[in-house]
Amino acid sequence: MYLSNIKLWNFRKFGRLEAIDIKKPHLDLNFTKGLNVLIGENDSGKTAILDAIKMVLKTHAYERMFLEEDDFFDGTNELRIELLIGGLTVSEAAHFTEWLGWDKEHPDQPVLRLIYTARLLDRHVIAPDVKGGMDDTGSPLDAQAKDYLKVTFLRPLRDAENELTAKKYSRLSQILEGHDLFKEGAEGKEIFESIVDGANQELKKWFEDNTNKTETPSNKKQIKDVIDSFLCDFMKPNTSSEFIIAESQIKQILEKLSLIVSGSKKPGLGTMNRLYMATELLHLQKPGWTGMRLCLVEEEEAHLHPQAQMKVLKRIQEESKTQFIITTHSPNLASKVELDKGEENQVVICKDGKVFPMGATYTLLDKKDYKFLDSFLDATKANLFFAKGIILVEGWAEELLLPAIAKRMDKDLTTHEVSIVNVGSTAYMRYAKLFMRQNQERMGCKVAIVTDLDVRPKDDGQFDQTDENNALSSITSEIDVTNYPDIKWCVAKRWTLEWCLLKSSLLGKLFKQAAASVHSGTFKKGKTLVGDAEFEEGVMNMLRQYKVENDKHVSVAKFKKVEVAYQLAALINATPEIDFGNITDDDYAKYLVDAIKHTCS
């Protein structure tokens, strides 16, 4: 069995200032049987989802979960949580016979619907017990049924060393005690108790040895008799002490165990974290277990360097017996989870109290797009999942220039949480479609697609207006943004970025300085820039990498776009008088300004 769905009403960020309508949950999210990854910025609702699950199912570690006033959506005094458990086998369903039912989405197998409601009365929380059933209220579950629903939870700042060190009620002892090898009548229980009982007898024999050695008092006289003499005075006559390693009951024995990584003398937090996670997964692999196998992991990346994160995630994705629900704000992890893999895994974007599954039934991406993103969505691009605005660009030149222009516009991209994603090609549509939902729901993230027009001049240096119009129509038809106001095309007015910068009334002069500093042999005569016409001809020839001489194409040196962009960005930063606020509609650089305005709005 597995957790197939969660519904929330007025729980933390997921709520509305209105009476609860059972048919209109404020969160309705399906889960897959395998790996589910909730991705999002801080305070986006990821933790609320995990806490709601724990509130209903409880955890194997017996963590105390109490509703508080802050768990209610602001201004409301009633909340509701519903969980749907599906995929039950016959042996699993036997634990919940009187609460099982069928629904429209699962007509061929039983499901278990769990209901948890609470109210605020005079700022005090009134929360009845968890109930089960297919009606709107359900009936209370008994204690035995609840035991089969408990989940494993790995908190973000987990004190792994403390949990794996010998102590009373240690998590390690709880995990081992629950294993079949240590239950009543099991081989492990009998052997451990026998070993400890024998060790205690040997210790007792040594401490009570009253044989005097050469010029040395006996063990008993040196230690036990001294302690006992004080103890008789402190308590009552004939009181005696006894040394033991541990009590010879399995619970106390297991509480004396610690777990370490072999050969690691002083392991760091990351090493202990992975050991702790591995130990918890042992708990979920118990043979013959017919309860929930669900592991909740908050911030899997906690204390782990990027490569360690990848190794943990890879192993988790290979695990078929356990369902995982993981939260993260790590671009490394976000880049390595396949966006759509059916029942095997699912990626969900959390933004401002809303959830957006990334599967093929939700976005405008097709199968080829998913395959492309699984291959090319690396950590540097995966930050788009956490941004409030995204500028998709074709190359390094745009990536260098846009932050400098934004600062001059008093729209610092970092302050506005806008990410520039360099797709390295014209594959921007595949990234943009991530934010285009089939139901046209807005994801609260502005996306600007910055691209060249890519219509070259003719051999005579003239541009064909018809060709340019056709190219613009062809580009923008790749993604129809008519019903998606958060997605905006920002296409170069003519040819390429470099040509537009040269022709810009605002940036043309600085562009010439930058280009001349990199290609001084082409654009300077001595210390003086060549004339405007010669400069334009030189840029044109270098961008198209040939010039026409005697009706023949002659190769010329390539224009060093990245180096020129770097120099231009430095000049923009050093020129405070540039005023992008009054840029005209016919300025060749306006499409760059529009991209910044759109994503920072």
pLDDT grade for 279, boundaries at 50, 70 and 90: confident
How much is the pLDDT for 383?
86
Please give the Cα distance from 27 to 55 (Å, whole number): 16
On whether residue 367 sits in a domain, the answer given is: no
pLDDT grade for 541, boundaries at 50, 70 and 90: very high
pLDDT at 159 over 80: no
pLDDT grade for 12, boundaries at 50, 70 and 90: very high
pLDDT at 429 over 80: no
pLDDT at 131 over 90: yes
Residue pair 322/284 in contact by the 8 Å Cβ criterion: yes
On whether residue 202 sits in a domain, the answer given is: yes
On whether residue 362 sits in a domain, the answer given is: no
pLDDT at 24 over 90: yes
On whether residue 188 sits in a domain, the answer given is: yes
Kind and range of the H or E element at 554? strand 552-555
Residues 302, 416 within the same domain: no
Provide mean pLDDT across the span 100-112. 84
Residues 233, 351 within the same domain: no
Residues 504, 458 within the same domain: yes
pLDDT > 70 fraction of the chain, expressed in percent and rounded: 99
Structural tokens at position 378: 């690396």
Handedness of CA 189, 190, 195, 198 (dihedral sign): positive
Beta bridge partners of 9: 80
Please give the Cα distance from 433 to 392 (Å, whole number): 12
How much is the pLDDT for 215?
81
Residues 247, 353 within the same domain: no
On whether residue 98 sits in a domain, the answer given is: yes
Cα–Cα–Cα angle for 370, 364, 334, nearest 5°?
A: 45
- Which of 154-158, 162-166, 336-340, 554-558 tops mean pLDDT? 554-558
How much is the pLDDT for 183?
85
Strand intervals (E) in 267-426: 294-298, 323-328, 345-351, 354-357, 389-393, 418-422
How much is the pLDDT for 226?
94
pLDDT at 209 over 70: yes
On whether residue 580 sits in a domain, the answer given is: yes
User: Which of 240-254, 335-349, 465-479, 554-568 has the weakest average pLDDT?
Assistant: 335-349
pTM of the model: 0.85
pLDDT higher for 583 or 106? 583
Provide mean pLDDT across the span 206-227. 90
Residues 238, 271 within the same domain: no
Residues 271, 318 within the same domain: yes
Looking at residue 306, which CATH number applies to its domain?
3.40.50.300
How much is the pLDDT for 342?
66
Q: Which of 228, 254, 280 is the last residue of a domain?
A: 254
User: Which of 26-35, 302-311, 496-505 has the weakest average pLDDT?
Assistant: 302-311
**Average pLDDT of the chain?**
90
Q: Which of 222, 254, 286 is the last residue of a domain?
A: 254
Residues 154, 188 within the same domain: no
Residues 21, 101 within the same domain: yes
Q: Which of 234, 254, 274 is the last residue of a domain?
A: 254
Structural tokens at position 453: 């027009």
On whether residue 260 sits in a domain, the answer given is: no
The helix/strand/coil state of 215 is coil
Residue pair 518/560 in contact by the 8 Å Cβ criterion: yes
How much is the pLDDT for 343?
67
Count of domains forming the chain: 3
Residues 445, 526 within the same domain: yes
Residues 500, 416 within the same domain: yes
On whether residue 381 sits in a domain, the answer given is: no
How much is the pLDDT for 84?
97
Residues 105, 186 within the same domain: no
pLDDT one-digit tens code per residue, 383-417: 889 899 999 998 899 999 999 999 999 999 999 99
pLDDT at 133 over 90: yes
Residues 413, 514 within the same domain: yes
Domain of 440 in residue numbering reads as 387-600
User: Which of 150-159, 347-356, 528-537, 551-560 has the weakest average pLDDT?
Assistant: 150-159
